[in-house]
Amino acid sequence: MPITTDTLRCYAVARTLFTPTTLAKAITRLGFVQADPIRAPARAQDLTLRHRVKGYHAGDLERRYSALDIEEDFFVNYGFLPRATQALMHPRTPKTVLTVARRKQMDAVLDYVRAHGVVHPRAVDAHFAHGTSRNWFGGSSNASTQLLDDMHYRGLLRIAGRVSGVRTYAERIAPEDVPDPQQAMDALVDVIVHKYAPLPERSLGELINHLRGGTPQWAHLRREALARAKERLASATVDGQAYYWPATENPASRCHSPAEIVRLLAPFDPLVWDRRRFEHLWGWAYRFEAYTPAVKRVRGYYALPLLWHDQVIGWGNVSMVDGQLQVELGYVAGKPPRGTHYQRALDEELDRLRVFL
């Protein structure tokens, strides 16, 4: 069967909104879960996982993190990923060269972490009194927190868990085997494709470029990694745009028929993350407006894309007020779909959201 826009849309929905499973299996299948600290009504990682994990409740990932074989780290952006995938990106060599003084600071903090096992940034700051320093956006931040973040990024520390949302740190024990750069890059590209496919050619290239954050030491290998990916992936040109997906999958399969389900998705859900693909498959522009001045917002501070069958038909702004779920919906067509099927499916989604929250 020919690959069409309708084919790609049904395929994209079906492959990422798989049958809910356990938390560990869902993270493995996704390959990476993007994190965001905003809670409106819950963090992005929780909003993403609730569609894919049986009986998931807001905060389950944070509560169960220490028991899972996963890590917090930077990939194409910051989030959670299997420990084996994280190991492919280390030893990480940032562009910023350590000074002798900075290296001494890190060695002292590492000795402190080894002596205490798991440390809170406040304890490190109280012990070393590093003071404050200028952060990346020009403000003032706790220097100990910045040092811990730098040590985490360099692979000296790992995130052990969180206390009231604040990351705690432990020593990261590096595997003895050092990954082969080319093989590691190919494996990381496969994680990208598996999560975000079907991918427009330009989006595939941009995501591989984003690997410079997770693997700065291999930035020069990205172009060759993209070329190898195009050779091993399946592809088709739809509406003049080349799309790529895993060679073992068939977008035209009849198993991709859409379900009569309404879903309110996270702004960073893999189904809607690629705004270029979003506009091609659904015919309108969705923008994340949390950092847009209020007077310029079109759809709301934290508008959640609203999926019905295989169509993203609008958005919802959701909050909890005095323990009650408050929902404001907007529709691209200006009004909701006609008939009782949609209203019943919407009510079921809002019930699931209440339980989740």
Per-residue pLDDT of the chain (357 residues; tens, 9 = 90+): 789 999 999 999 999 999 999 999 999 999 999 999 999 999 999 999 999 999 999 999 999 999 999 999 999 999 999 999 999 999 999 988 899 999 999 999 999 999 999 999 999 999 998 766 555 444 545 788 999 999 999 999 999 999 988 999 999 999 888 999 999 999 999 999 999 999 999 999 999 999 999 999 999 999 999 999 999 999 999 999 999 999 999 999 988 888 899 999 999 999 999 999 999 999 999 999 999 999 999 999 999 999 999 999 999 999 988 889 999 999 999 999 998 999 999 999 999 999 999
Residue 146 in domain: yes
Residue 96 is predicted with a pLDDT of 86
Residue 282's SS3 state is helix
Q: Does residue 16 belong to any structural domain of this protein?
A: no
The predicted structure's pLDDT at residue 254: 86
Please give the pLDDT value at position 140: 44
- Identify whether 194 is part of a domain: no
Q: Does the residue 314 lie in any domain?
A: yes
Query: What pairing do the DSSP bridges indicate for beta strands 199-200 and 241-245?
Result: antiparallel
55 lies in a domain? no
Domain total of the chain:
2
The string of DSSP letters for 181-210 reads HHHHHHHHHHHHHHHH-SEEHHHHHHHHHH
For residue 262, the enclosing domain spans 258-356
* Residue finishing a domain among 141, 171, 201: 171
Q: Does residue 342 fall inside a structural domain?
A: yes
Q: Which of 152, 171, 190 is the last residue of a domain?
A: 171
What is the structure's pLDDT at 339? 87
Query: Of the residues 171, 190, 205, which one is the last residue of a structural domain?
Result: 171
133: CATH: 1.10.10
What's residue 136's pLDDT? 47
Single-letter amino acid code for the residue at 339: G
| Residue 6 and residue 198 in contact, taking contact as beta carbons nearer than 8 Å | no
Model pTM score: 0.93
Tell me how far apart the alpha carbons of residues 25 and 4 are, in angstroms, rounded to a whole number. Answer: 31
Q: What contacts 324, CB < 8 A, 6 or more positions away?
A: none
User: What was the pLDDT predicted at 141?
Assistant: 57
